[in-house]
Amino acid sequence: MQPVRGGSGMARRENWEIPIAFACVLLGVMMTVQFRTQKKEGFPLYNQRTDLIQMVNELERQRNRLETDLAEKKKKLDEFEQAAAKGPDVVKAMKDQIELARMEAGVLPVKGPGIIVEMSDSPKSPSPSDDTYYFIVHDVDIDTAINELWSAGAEAISINDQRVVTTTSIRCVGPTVLINGVRLSSPYKIKAIGPKKDMEGGLRMPGGFMDYMAPAVQRGVTVRINQYEEIDVPEYKGSLIFRYAKPMKKE
Amino acid sequence: MWIVIGLFVGVFIGLVLPSDLYPPYVFSKYISISFLAGIDSVLGAVRAGMEGKFKVNIFVSGFFSNALLAAFLTWIGDKLGVDLYLAAVVTFGVRVFDNLAYIRRDIMEGSKAGQESAADKS
Using only C-alpha atoms, chain A has a radius of gyration, in whole angstroms, of: 32
**Cβ contacts from A onto B, under 8 A:** 115
Q: Is B91 on the interface with A (CB under 8 A)?
A: no
Asked whether the whole model's pTM tops 0.80, one would answer no
3-state secondary structure B66-109: HHHHHHHHHHHHHHHCCCCHHHHHHHHHHHHHHHHHHHHHHHHH
Put simply, the answer to whether B31 touches A33 (Cβ < 8 Å) is yes
pLDDT of the residue at A43: 53
pLDDT of the residue at B111: 61
Neighbours of A201 (CB within 10 A): 13
- Bridge pairing between strands A156-159 and A188-193: antiparallel
Instruction: Say whether pLDDT at B87 is over 50.
Output: yes
- Mean pLDDT of chain B, nearest integer: 80
**pLDDT tens string B43-62:** 888 888 888 888 888 888 88
Split at pLDDT 50, 70, 90, the class of A6 is very low
Architecture per CATH, A111-233: 2-Layer Sandwich (3.30)
Cis check for the bond before A187: say yes or no (omega within 30 of 0): yes
pLDDT of the residue at B118: 47
Instruction: Say whether pLDDT at A90 is over 50.
Output: yes
pLDDT of the residue at B60: 86
C-alpha dist (Å) from residue B109 to A11, A16, A100, B71, B114: 21, 19, 96, 36, 8
Q: How far apart are CA B103 and CA B47, in angstroms?
A: 5
Put simply, the answer to whether A33 touches B22 (Cβ < 8 Å) is yes
Q: Is A33 on the interface with B (CB under 8 A)?
A: yes
Put simply, the answer to whether B9 touches A41 (Cβ < 8 Å) is no
Q: In chain B, which residue's Cα lies nearest the Cα of A23?
A: B42
Put simply, the answer to whether B38 touches A26 (Cβ < 8 Å) is yes
Instruction: Say whether pLDDT at A101 is over 90.
Output: no
Put simply, the answer to whether A23 touches B34 (Cβ < 8 Å) is no
**pLDDT tens string A148-165:** 999 999 999 999 989 999
Q: How large is the greatest C-alpha to C-alpha distance in chain B, in angstroms?
A: 64
Residue A163, φ and ψ in degrees, nearest 5: -70, 135
Using only C-alpha atoms, chain B has a radius of gyration, in whole angstroms, of: 18
- Mean pLDDT of chain A, nearest integer: 83
Residues A106-115, mean pLDDT to the nearest whole number: 91
